[in-house]
Chain A
Amino acid sequence: MTYRDRFEAVYDAYYPAIHQYAARRAQSPDDTADVISETFLTAWRRIGDVPEGEEALLWLYGVARRVLANQQRGASRRAVLAERLRTELAADRPVRPVDLDHVRTAFDALPERDREVLALACWEGLTSERIAKVVGCTAIAARTRLHRARKRLAAALERQASLTIAMEEA
């Protein structure tokens, strides 16, 4: 298998997952397109390092995660490579159900570390062993982080609920 075949296979297999990963976390369709293009450009450069099988997806998540963390704002972004993709993404904006706003508020208020593991567990559907591979920690650390994040979100939602009741009674 040549580098080109391998890259095409990786791209075609994991494009939807990486697109989704980026769309869930980026601030705008433009950023989503940039994260996708940067992630796969890195995969192309390092195609020899991309692990086989399912592990490739975790590797790509790890790259996308770093791209998101480093994403530069302003004049220098909008790499010309992703121009067409950006136009496409700008057309479909996500629809957000209003009745879950309180969950979103509580989630957004969590520390970044908590949000990251919760999102990987619930949105990408990863086990703590796999989360550990994406974020680069031990499986035990990932499990602990996930457990604490769950508890903090539950506590935040409870506080919110009691606050709402208090306001309704007032």
Chain B
Amino acid sequence: MSDIEHLVRAIDPAPHAPDQGPGARELRAAIMASTSGPPHRTARRRLPWRAGAIGLVAAAAATAVFLDQAATAPSPAPPAATGDTSLSGTSILLAAAAKAEAAPEGSYWHLKELNVGSSRPYGKDGDTYQLEISNLSEQWVGADGGHWIGRRQLAARPRDVAAWRRDGSPAEWEMGPDGGVYSTSPGEGTLTRLKGDQKLYWSARAMTLEQIAELPADPEALKKRAAEAIRSDEDFAGSVEHGLPHTLASLLYALPASPQVRGAAYEALATLPTVRVEGRTTDPRGREGVAVTFPIQEGRPTQGRLVIDPDTSKVLASEVTGMPQKDDRVTVVLESGWTDTEPSPPSTE
């Protein structure tokens, strides 16, 4: 070996092969529990297109039932706000802050999200269509330390049905060079229990339930803590100011913050100059709310967009728009709160 190769070897950033720690073993289990594994793929491959098309209808019906349930689930909504008041942006956020409901009780912190995105174009040259790709993702953190994740790939749907028919109405589409298929039938729901202590991420900072419970309920103090969390993310590219809206917003629905802290997060958002209240809108499920937008990265068109129900202060949806060369990412928040219901694989029924 030449001197040069010895020198390069000497600067090896990871000279020692790591052992499989608990994290590595857990990853193995989580991957094998994931929906996109080979057994499903082979099974779906054998489906004639007709069966797939029936699956498409069945899945649509199941999704409708599922969304119906989500819509009619008992909600602790206080009486609706009076009339169509033209609140200024800041006061809408402050009104939401004031609506912080009483701390709900339960054995598990539970977050259930529906992620919706788009595939690359399929079809023939000049006659292409994209698929709507969606999955359910759930997370439970037990007050006594357990941590579960649930996932389920939902049926893919062509966004342009006419173009899909012209393409021969396929029921499956290759994902890309790394394999896998999108299918018109939903995948199976999986539930994985993660071992070890539960950690939730606030920006790049791993937090325990206790640490989240101890966050300050004062907007300025909370902003300071958010800035610290952002600085702990070594590869966050922008300025701390640009990380603040996104980081504060995550306290509104993605983490088990107390009602007081959620209120403080709304108040803190109202003080940020880059946060804009865009007015009334509906979320992807047709639920009415108010759109709030903010830039995510300095000098980039990428924007975060929340749809908030000002009556309950709940976040209905969280979107990322304007990503270069990528379609918008939409997350519908189906459930975010404490529950006594035991973790179970996501179902579409």
Q: What residues of chain A lie closer than 8 Å to B4, measured between beta carbons?
A: 150, 153-154, 157
0/1 interface trace, chain A 87-123, chain B, CB 8 Å (1 if under)? 1111000101100100110010000000000110111
Q: What residues of chain A lie closer than 8 Å to B206, measured between beta carbons?
A: 86-87, 90
List, sorted by A's number, 15 A–B pairs whose CB atoms are closer than 8 Å. A8-B28, A15-B28, A19-B24, A27-B234, A36-B27, A41-B36, A42-B178, A45-B180, A75-B329, A83-B199, A84-B196, A87-B199, A87-B206, A103-B10, A154-B4
**Extra 11 A-B pairs, beta carbons < 8 Å, given A19-B24, A73-B237:** A3-B38, A8-B28, A23-B18, A41-B31, A47-B37, A63-B178, A74-B297, A75-B296, A75-B329, A86-B206, A118-B5
Q: Are B11 and A40 neighbours in the complex by a CB distance under 8 Å?
A: no
CB distance from B10 to the nearest CB of A (A): 6
> CA of A73 to CA of B296 in the docked complex: distance in angstroms?
12
Q: What residues of chain B lie closer than 8 Å to A154, measured between beta carbons?
A: 4
> CA of A76 to CA of B10 in the docked complex: distance in angstroms?
35
0/1 interface trace, chain B 302-315, chain A, CB 8 Å (1 if under)? 10100000000000
B31-54 contacts to A (CB < 8 Å): 31-32, 34, 36-39, 41
Binding site for B on A (CB under 8 A): 3-4, 7-8, 11-12, 15-17, 19-20, 23-24, 27-28, 30-31, 33, 36-37, 40-42, 44-49, 63, 66, 73-76, 78, 80-90, 94, 96-97, 100, 103-104, 107, 118-119, 121-123, 150, 153-154, 157
> CA of A15 to CA of B296 in the docked complex: distance in angstroms?
35
Q: Are A107 and B34 neighbours in the complex by a CB distance under 8 Å?
A: no
Q: Are B137 and A80 neighbours in the complex by a CB distance under 8 Å?
A: yes
Give the number of residue pairs across the A-B interface with Cβ within 8 Å.
165
B320 touches which one: A16, A75, A81, A157 (CB < 8 A)?
A75
User: Is B284 engaged at the interface, CB distance under 8 Å to the other chain?
Assistant: no
Q: Are A150 and B5 neighbours in the complex by a CB distance under 8 Å?
A: yes
Q: Are B14 and A20 neighbours in the complex by a CB distance under 8 Å?
A: yes
The winner among B27, B179, B297 for most chain A CB atoms within 10 A is B27
Interface size on B, residues (CB 8 A): 56
User: Is B149 engaged at the interface, CB distance under 8 Å to the other chain?
Assistant: yes
> CA of A74 to CA of B302 in the docked complex: distance in angstroms?
11
B11 touches which one: A3, A42, A83, A104 (CB < 8 A)?
A104
CB distance from B120 to the nearest CB of A (A): 13
Smallest CB-CB A-B distances: 8 pairs: A85-B23, A46-B179, A23-B14, A88-B23, A122-B8, A16-B17, A84-B23, A45-B180
